[in-house]
Each structure stands twice: as C-alpha cells, then as structure tokens.
C-alpha cells in the first residue's frame, strides 16, 4: 500500500498549490515595485488562479 491515502495526497497537493500561489503573488508584488507592471500583474493573476480559490479550477 502507498504511504499516502488518496485524501492525504489531495491535501498535500492543495498545500503545495497554495505555497506556489503565495510565491507567485509575492513575486508579482515585487515586480510591480520594481516598475515591471505587466509582469507583476501576470504573476499575481496566475497566483490567484492557482491559489485557494483556483484549486477547484485545476483539480
């Protein structure tokens, strides 16, 4: 039997997607501060899609 159950795997994946979303949004904010507005907006939007509200879109 595998180390993780199906539910445990789903929670792990949700957590990893949440961490990825946080990193993307923070990187987007730093890009905007560094006057790279378009790149910053793209990173923030992707972070919001991947994040907690967007997890249902990707799974």
Q: pLDDT category, 59, cuts 50, 70, 90?
A: low
- How large is the average pLDDT for residues 38-45? 95
pLDDT score recorded for residue 15: 84
Question: What tokens were used for 32?
Answer: 């905007």
**Could you tell me the maximum CA-CA distance found in the chain, to the nearest angstrom?**
51
Is the pLDDT reported for residue 36 higher than 80? yes
Q: What is the pLDDT of residues 1-22, one digit of tens each?
A: 445 556 666 677 888 888 999 9
CA dist list (Å): 36 to 9, 18, 47, 59: 36, 24, 16, 31
């Amino acid at each position: 039997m595998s180390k993780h159950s199906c539910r445990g795997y789903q929670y792990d994946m949700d957590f990893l997607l949440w961490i990825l979303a946080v990193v993307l949004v923070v990187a987007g904010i730093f890009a905007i501060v560094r006057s790279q507005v378009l790149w910053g907006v793209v990173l923030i939007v992707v972070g919001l899609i991947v994040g907690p509200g967007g997890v249902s879109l990707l799974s």
